Every structure is written in C-alpha cells, then in structure tokens.
Amino acid sequence: MATPQLLRGATDYENPRIRQRYIAFEGIDGSGKSTQLDLLRGYLRRRFYTAIGLEEPTYGRWGREIRKHIETGRPLSVERQQRMFTLDRRQHVKEKLRPLLRLVRESPTFLILQDRTYLSAAAYQATGFSREELRTLIAAQTEFAPEPDIFILLDLSVDVAMGRLHCLKVSTSQFERKDILEAAKRRYRILADMVPRKIRIINANGTPQQVHTRILRMLGLPSASRERGIAK
C-alpha cells in the first residue's frame, strides 16, 4: 500500500538529512550567535536529532579566567588574549570536542553546534588585515583544533550589534568597543572571501526567526513555515 502524501511529508520534515555534523556560529558580539544556535538546536530536537551545544570561551579553568576579565572590564593585551584563548581552546578540544566528534561521526542523529571557534582568534586577535597574518593565526590553531564542517557567519552592522548589546547590559567589555567590532567584522569578511565554501555569510538583520529561516535555507533544510503548511 502506498504511503499517504501527508505522512510522507511529515516524515521528511521530522528527520531531514543533514550533511553538516559539526556546525560553528561566528560573528561579532551582538550578531545573535547564541540565539541562532538555540533556535537551530530546537529545530533539530523537534526532528529527533540530538544537537550538542558548545561554546568558547568555555567554563574551564582558562575560560573562567577570560570571562572574569570580560565581566570586570579589565583589558587584555593581544599577546595575553592569544595565550589565554589558546590554552582554553586546547583544553576544550582535548576534553570535550574530540570525544564528542567521535560520538557524532558514529551516530547519525547526533550533531555539534558551537558558539565561536578558532576563527574568532583570527577575527579578534590579529593586529592587521593581511591575509598572510590571518592564515598564520588559523594555521597555528588548526594544528590542534578540528575544523567544523561549516561556519555560519552572522553578518550585522556594528551600530546594530552595539545597540543590541546595550539593550542587554550597561557595561561594555574590551571586545565590544566599536573600533574592535569594526576591525573584527572586516577580518571576518576577509576570512569568508578566503574560504567561501566553508564560511557562509548570513544576513543577521531582521527578527531572530527571519535569520533562522535564512540559516535553514542555506543548510538545505525545510523551514518551519513550510512544515506548518504541510500540517494544515
């Protein structure tokens, strides 16, 4: 007996095929990374996937130290930033990321969604804008850090990002100054131009749901509105 079209459609939307198993979210502060990660995780959970969320800096020894500097507003030199973020990332890769990647590669319904990766090191810790410097920074990180299947780069104007940040809190950290964000945004665009197939730019303007729909379209996944249309 043929499967009714309604049931065929429901099955397709419950468990769509996802090629990318390790997805990273990148972008300047205020671009909506954590919001979009949570929306995608919820979308996947409703389709019987287990999406494991990770973030950098972590809450390990070095990650807590970084967060303390961010919360208190104490500035960090570029050299100190590079050292602390790299130590945090090394610990994260060894203790969490590599073991989870083994699980994900062996389990078709498991994925990793990560808020920031080594790409942030190049965007925030470079001293200039040359491709050579960016390549050198990335090469140093990828000696020990696995490469995501895809980077979702949320692209937003600095003024809009700063407006969002000010709505969330009063104090501004060293990483949320306008000049720092403008430099990081520029480097992100250079990085995306260097590796366009791996780093996919998403327009982060609009409502969270509008941005979420753009991400689903880029990943080749059916949107929630399309799913509602099937259910009617």
Q: What percent of the chain has pLDDT over 70?
A: 88
More confidently predicted of 88 and 231 = 88
Mark out the alpha helices in the chain (DSSP H runs).
5-14, 33-45, 61-72, 78-92, 98-106, 119-125, 131-142, 158-168, 178-194, 208-219, 224-231
Q: Give the separation between CA 136 and CA 6, rounded to whole angstroms.
A: 52
pLDDT for res 90: 97
pLDDT for res 77: 84
What's the chain's average pLDDT?
88
Q: Average the pLDDT over each of 10-19, 35-44, 65-74, 136-145 and give the range with the smallest value.
A: 10-19
Q: What is the average per-residue pLDDT within 125-154?
A: 97
- CA 126, distance to chain mean position in Å, is 19
What pTM value is reported for the model?
0.87
Parse the chain into domains and list their residue ranges.
22-223
Task: Assign 10 a pLDDT band (cuts: 50, 70, 90).
Answer: very low
Cβ atoms of residues 110 and 50 within 8 Å? yes
Q: Give the separation between CA 21 and CA 2, rounded to whole angstroms.
A: 32
Handedness of CA 78, 118, 45, 228 (dihedral sign): positive
- State whether residue 210 is helix, strand or coil: helix
Q: Give the separation between CA 118 and CA 148, rounded to whole angstroms.
A: 10
Q: What is the average per-residue pLDDT within 113-124?
A: 97
Give the tens place of pLDDT for each residue, 48-86: 999 999 999 999 999 999 988 887 777 788 888 899 999
17 burial (CB, 10 Å; 0-12 / 13-18 / 19+) is exposed
* 226 has pLDDT over 50: yes
Give the tens place of pLDDT for each residue, 163-215: 988 887 645 566 778 999 999 999 999 999 999 999 999 999 999 999 999 99
More confidently predicted of 52 and 15 = 52
* Fold (CATH) for 22-223: Rossmann fold (3.40.50)
- State whether residue 1 is helix, strand or coil: coil
- Residue 39: CB partners within 8 Å, gap ≥ 6? 208, 209, 212, 215
Location of structure tokens 């090394």:
90
Q: What is the average per-residue pLDDT within 113-141?
A: 96
- Residue 64: CB partners within 8 Å, gap ≥ 6? none
* 131 has pLDDT over 50: yes
User: In this structure, which amino acid lies at residue 165?
Assistant: L
Tokens linked to 160: 């809009």
Location of structure tokens 């590599």:
98
Tokens linked to 77: 């030199």
DSSP string for 43-54: HHHTTT-EEEEE
Task: Assign 6 a pLDDT band (cuts: 50, 70, 90).
Answer: very low
Q: What is the DSSP letter of 146?
A: P
Cβ atoms of residues 186 and 117 within 8 Å? no
